[in-house]
Amino acid sequence: MVKRRNMLFQFVMYFLTFGLYSLYWYYSTLDEMTKLKGKRVEALLWTILMIIPIANFFAMWKHSAAADQAFDRTYPAILLWVLWIFVSPVVWILLQIELNRVAGTPFPVEASATEL
């Protein structure tokens, strides 16, 4: 289920943790967005790549593409990716608004679980 997150709380946590909260947010939201479409992704791997120069561009793209699919192209992946590069707080706000909008939506059941 997608978790509702308070923007003010996130802002405070970002500063209290010296930016480390943003990695938690990245991991959590990537995991939630891919699960919304019934897919799986190695969110931890992509989160680790987020802190490695050059590789972080690929991680930003992965997050942007997941958002594009999860929210039925409300924000195209290329737009989100460019925003990630130049004004990442805007991406955080836009995606959190969308996630809060669908908060409480259960994840689809995976095919492997239904076959048992």
Sequential DSSP letters for the chain? -PPP--HHHHHHHHHHTTTHHHHHHHHHHHHHHHHHTT----HHHHHHHHTSTTHHHHHHHHHHHHHHHHTTTSS-HHHHHHHHHH-HHHHHHHHHHHHHHTTTPPPPPPHHHHT-
Flag whether 76 is in a domain.
yes
pLDDT in the model for residue 112? 42
pLDDT band for 110, please (50, 70, 90 cuts).
low
pLDDT in the model for residue 104? 83
Flag whether 6 is in a domain.
no
Flag whether 65 is in a domain.
yes
- Structure pTM? 0.86
Flag whether 15 is in a domain.
no
pLDDT in the model for residue 115? 43
pLDDT in the model for residue 109? 66
Flag whether 84 is in a domain.
yes
Number of separate domains in the chain: 1
Flag whether 3 is in a domain.
no
Mean pLDDT of 25-37: 93
pLDDT band for 116, please (50, 70, 90 cuts).
very low
Flag whether 63 is in a domain.
yes
Range of the domain at 49: 22-104
